[in-house]
Amino acid sequence: MKKQLLFLFFLLTAVTALNAQHTKSPQKKYTTTIGPSFKSKKIVLLVPSFLPGIMKDSSASLRNDTLVYDLNGQLFDNGYKLFPGKGSVSLSTPWQTLMEMTDAYSKKDTNRIIALYAADSKEKIKAILSGNQAGDFLDYVSKASHANLTLLGGIHYKNGFMAYTKDDVYGLHENFIIKENNKYKLAALDDKSPTGWNIAIYFKDDPKPMVPLKNISLPDSLQIDDSATVKITLPEAGRWVAIYLGNPGESVSLNVQDNGMNDYDPMEKQVALHLKGGIFIAPGTYTFYISSFNYLVRKISKDFFSDDAKHTITIY
């Protein structure tokens, strides 16, 4: 599987995260200190290798079933909101460039948009903004800039900086930025490496550590052709519950999402699932595990076998 950030795709994703830069509008004033400070430092990203879509990557170290990426950049634990109307002409940090982009795209200001791009990419954005798809493109990015756009963070990548934003309509956006004449400018990136792909999936799914589920009221035994309803309280709404047994690398036996797939309870932060004897294949006594995740888990990792998640049942 290969990743390729085509320029148009890049623009559509980058389109969502900037503010103001090259305007001559007399009613608008900009400052050079607006937005969060840019503080790059060493960061470690832990990416589950069984996260859907993850590629093998020799550039990361492997700890059990987790890809460990040692990087440099800056993360915002709770995100940083980007609002139209707060731009900065200085473009002295990647974050100011994103704020300027947000405002320029929200107003569909083509002159300011073009001014945001590095020399090698400027002609491409000019062509897009003058083509027959320009109206649809500007509608798309303007809508994204008004959709609770949030800055997640960024990393030093290749010859520049990759920033990640997310909105409530289109999801994740990747914005590649390079430094040109002491200003941070948007640029296209044709990237086929698994590293960029995996890190983008990390920011898209935001995988948090699993929560082992214990003290659950479970039957001691069950007929193989029968089922029991099990109710589980979750630490937060929307989470997934995974039931698994067997070995690492095998598929999860049952996935349930709060108010989603296989959930028979309408309440938030609570799921009611049907535990079927048939998932245990044959009669016998089984040890199995129940854990909660904030993303859909399809395969079992070595990291999932916690004593707090362990349960026992006899199948007849």
Domains of the chain: 7-205 (no CATH), 211-315 (2.60.40)
pLDDT of 185 reads 97
Compute the radius of gyration of the chain from its Cα atoms.
24
Residues of the chain with pLDDT below 50 are 1-33
The span from the CA of 286 to the CA of 305, in Å, is: 14
Provide the CA 24 distance to its chain's centre, in angstroms: 36
pLDDT of residue 255: 97
Question: Which pLDDT value is given to residue 34?
Answer: 67
| pLDDT score of 118 | 96
Rounded to two decimals, the pTM is 0.80
* pLDDT score for 16: 36
